[in-house]
């Protein structure tokens, strides 16, 4: 298949690109290599596929409507939309940037998709849309009217736009709600990356709150399996959780990282951070039913793989 992957140089995107190429797809990546974190990291993510005969890289911004329209004339069968400004905490500082990239950028892609062939559209959403929804584990039909960060709002808006373009234009869309993805190549601002680096260097780890916040950590390989399964199916419109592997508290996570690294962690406690939710936990029944997907990587296995990648 001919597949366009937006944000394909990023953490999750580069793994998806490699998996698609491995199975024989023709892949075009569009990525702007912005400075949210060191662009050199993202370039290294793609270093192993740049010479692949079925790979093409386009450097550009999804907010550039003319670029997106030109790209989508390439008769793609599927668009995997992973490009976004990520992160809850940074979105509090610059919500306008998050709105323009995550919403206007998505609109450009949806408009282009409708205009040029209506490729199946796989949208990367986020567990953050559940916000303060009280019932755990979270199911796709739970209320999502209480997001508590601009990032979460943009992801919920993205889901609604996907529904709208399916309803009005018949565009086949699926929104995959990712739950705290980790693993090799993860962004340096993510918790496991920061915790591991601090323990290796003997630096203290800052814990916001008392460390009892719960997160559903999902290994990147399990996420890739979900994306590839979604690429193969027609849904009309669906929202599907990708998570449910293992939920642990922040303190338990730090202990697990310490075990993996083989060193003790030093902790500093600070007040909770606005925008952080107290718990995330995915109900994965729908992913099992529609995608045949069950997360299979435990946190200890995933942390070991991450450390082996970080310290080869």
Cis-peptide, bond into residue 137, ω within 30° of zero: yes
SS3 category, 239: strand
Give the list of residues 6+ apart from residue 35 with CB closer than 8 angstroms, or none.
none
Look at the block and give the residue holding tokens 């999804």.
Answer: 62
CB atoms within 10 A of CB 264: 10
Instruction: Give the integer Cα–Cα distance in Å for 181 and 273.
Output: 20
- Say if CB 30 and CB 83 are below 8 A apart: yes
- Say if CB 43 and CB 15 are below 8 A apart: no
Token digits of residue 196: 């591991």
- Say if CB 217 and CB 290 are below 8 A apart: no
151 an active-site residue? yes
* Pairing outcome for strands 214-219 and 246-249: antiparallel
Instruction: Give the integer Cα–Cα distance in Å for 259 and 272.
Output: 25
36, 98, 130, 151: the active-site residue: 151
- Say if CB 178 and CB 243 are below 8 A apart: yes
Question: Which residues, in sequence order, are bridge partners of residue 206?
Answer: 268
- Say if CB 227 and CB 303 are below 8 A apart: no
SS3 category, 207: strand
Q: Please list the active-site residues.
A: 151
């Amino acid at each position: 298949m001919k597949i366009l992957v937006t944000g394909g140089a990023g953490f999750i995107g580069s793994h998806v690109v490699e998996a698609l190429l491995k199975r024989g797809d023709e892949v075009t990546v569009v990525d702007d290599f912005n400075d949210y974190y060191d662009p050199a990291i993202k370039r290294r993510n793609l270093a192993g596929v740049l010479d692949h005969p079925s790979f093409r890289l386009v450097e550009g911004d999804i907010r550039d409507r003319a670029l997106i329209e030109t790209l989508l004339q390439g008769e793609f069968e599927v668009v995997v939309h992973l490009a976004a400004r990520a992160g809850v905490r940074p979105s509090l500082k610059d919500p306008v940037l998050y709105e323009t990239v995550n919403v206007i950028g998505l609109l450009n892609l949806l408009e282009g998709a409708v205009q040029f062939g209506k490729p199946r559209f796989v949208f990367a959403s986020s567990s953050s849309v559940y916000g303060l929804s009280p019932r755990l584990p979270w199911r796709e039909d739970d209320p999502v009217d209480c997001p508590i960060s601009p990032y979460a709002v943009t992801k919920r808006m993205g889901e609604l736009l996907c529904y709208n373009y399916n309803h009005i234009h018949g565009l086949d869309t699926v929104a995959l709600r990712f739950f705290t993805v980790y693993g090799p190549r993860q962004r340096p601002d993510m918790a496991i990356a920061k915790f591991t680096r601090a323990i290796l260097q003997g630096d203290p780890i800052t814990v916001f709150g008392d460390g009892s916040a719960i997160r559903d950590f999902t290994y990147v390989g399990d996420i890739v399996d979900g994306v590839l399964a979604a690429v193969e199916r027609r849904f009309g419109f669906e929202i599907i959780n990708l998570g449910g592997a293992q939920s642990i508290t922040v303190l338990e996570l730090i202990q697990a990282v310490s075990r993996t690294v083989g060193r003790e962690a030093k902790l500093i406690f600070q007040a909770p951070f606005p925008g952080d939710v107290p718990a995330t936990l995915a109900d994965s029944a729908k992913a099992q039913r529609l995608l045949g997907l069950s997360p299979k990587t435990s946190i200890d296995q995933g942390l070991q793989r991450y450390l082996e990648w970080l310290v080869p």
